[in-house]
Amino acid sequence: MKLLIVESPAKAKTIAKYLNDIPNQTENFVVTSSIGHIRDLPKNNKKAIDIEGGFIPYYEISKGKEKVINDIKSKAKKASEVLLATDPDREGEAIAWHLKEVINLKNPKRIVFNEITKDAVQEAIKHPRKIDDKLREAQEARRVLDRLVGYDLSGLIWKKVRYGLSAGRVQSPALRIIMEREREIRNFKPENFWMIIADVKNKNDLQFTLTCSKEPREEKETQRIINIGKSRKWSVINIKENEMKRAPRAPFITSTLQQTASARLGFAPYKTMSVAQKLYEAGHITYMRTDSVIMSKQALGQIAKVINDKYGKEYYQPRVFAKKSKLAQEAHEAIRPSNILKEYAGANEEQEKLYHLIWQRAVGSRMADAKLLKMKMTANVDGEEKIPDFTVNGSRTLFDGWLKADPIARGEDVELPEASIGETLKLAEIRSEAKQTQPPFRYTEAGLIKELEKRGIGRPSTYASIVRTLAVRNYVEKKGKTLFPTDTGDVVSSFLEDNFEKYISDSFTAEMENELDEIANGKREYVKTLSDFYKPFTKNVNSKKDIEKITNLGNAPEEYKCPKCGARMIIKLGKSGKFLSCSLFPNCNGGRMIDGKELEGPKETGENCPKCKNGKLVERDGKFGRFISCNNYPKCK
């Protein structure tokens, strides 16, 4: 018997279907699953890493995994050969190594595949290799680095800001990016401008709308343009047509899949990865954590067949896309359907939608450019006193090309009314609309991932978890699709920017990511990389131990006085965000909400807690107003 170990029961079930008819096979395969990681660093324990001994991590068996390990050990003893078929990335390599160490496998074979298909699995079994220690070291370096940074920074924040807060090597730069945008918005000063619109009719009495090419900042200038427009004759002074091509986009990588699924399907990044994981484990798509845009020759052959059969030969155009990252792992493929001949797949509606999106992008990437005709009509008035030109734009699709496979990306054609240069236009109405310049947009989850990728922060396997961590830590709130920093996030980011600017900068974080990649490629040493980082970092942390604790975030507005003693109030940070506290605290415990409303304090309702049975229900103040909880809160929630 041969034993093949993967990390997911669903993946094991799919693979098992492909192992019964391998040519020249003399033994049966048994497929089992580790159900994820089997061991990890102890939680919240810096001593789990021997820094002086060379940053050696000491792992412990994950909770609830003893039974799984014993089951795998039992099967491994009966096996003539053990194959480790965990995912084809650093995380998968680490799981394979942990299985080898914990089960005490003497000579396990490592096999990898980017898609769970019969051909891919059987081909991988023919070409086993050893565990890639460099790839595993890169994952271990990331894990150790994140633990050391998180432990040291979080410990300092607990003492200097508030207990229970956290910081992280990648999480904190992401929070800084959000806060930088928030400060831009706060400091933004809107300016007034006027949009001027003219409704005109051509010789066939067909009405259309022209827009002034300049937007005046002064109402006086706006009125001058309107008055001249009303009193003069209008005519077409130019019609410009320009044929242009619109090329398809590359097949999906992790970041672009998350961004497009957010825009098209409304999926949060974490949900996109969860749905994609199920599609991968069922054998429908290739591995979904990748930064490579290449596709296999077999896949490209299938794409060519689909395009020729479904759309016609004129729609097919071979092309090569430049890789987005110089460190993109070329052994991986882009995210694509395992069988491109299948346009639809998935066990439910969410899977079907995401699969079809992946199919559209993969097929469209090898289709011909779309050809568009862009049109622009320009009009103005006669007379010596001139006003800015008024224009209207249009477009027409001459050849849809790749848009045939992805019609949502097409948009609508806007045809210009028939007219000729010099033709007189009849003014129906000219009017203005008062507008204001708008501040920059806050980030969405997809927008933040795009920004992180652009700045070189994070990797395909970490994008979704970075965003999720910020929300779990209560550093950001999601309203609709938009991320808003919380008061807590604001204070923590400001503290880190003031004291650890270098370590949460774009350049430093991106360079650290590159160094971790170089460990995987064998270009850097594990110990030297961690040592070069940690020695100056820990020195910096120790130098901040004597700074004053942040207890006062500034004075409250003068109109808000302490409701108990009438003294001035100051802004503080509590568990639910900022609030106003009496400046004489602890001698006076008067307080208000951040908006000035008086804190009423807990009030008993007279009812017993239905959860713990021992406590009493009380009404108390919270971030979103009054709420009812047990008087044993937070022990009882």
Task: Kindly report whether the peptide bond that precedes residue 634 is cis, defined as omega within 30 degrees of 0.
Answer: yes
DSSP state of 314: G
Answer whether 186's CB lies under 8 Å from 448's CB.
no
Answer whether 596's CB lies under 8 Å from 563's CB.
no
Using CA atoms, how far apart are residues 80 and 574, in angstroms rounded to an integer? 60
Answer whether 379's CB lies under 8 Å from 199's CB.
no
Answer whether 372's CB lies under 8 Å from 398's CB.
yes
Position of tokens 């990898």? 112
Which tokens go with 206? Answer: 């067909």
- DSSP letters, 388-443, are --EEEEEEEEEE-GGGGT-GGGT---BPPPP--TT-EEEEEEEEEEEEE--PPPPP
Q: Which residues pair with 425 in a beta bridge?
A: 234
Which tokens go with 135? Answer: 């790839």
What are the catalytic residues?
A: 287
CA-wise closest residue to 277 among 627, 615, 632, 11? 11
Q: In what order do the strands lie in the sheet with 616-622?
A: 603-608, 616-622, 625-630
Q: Please tell me whether residue 210 adopts helix, strand or coil conformation.
A: strand
Cα–chain center distance at 260: 11
Q: Which residues pair with 198 in a beta bridge?
A: 210, 430
Residue 321, Cβ density class (10 Å: 0-12 exposed, 13-18 middle, ≥19 buried): middle
Q: In Å, what is the CA distance from 568 to each residue of 571, 576, 581? A: 11, 22, 9
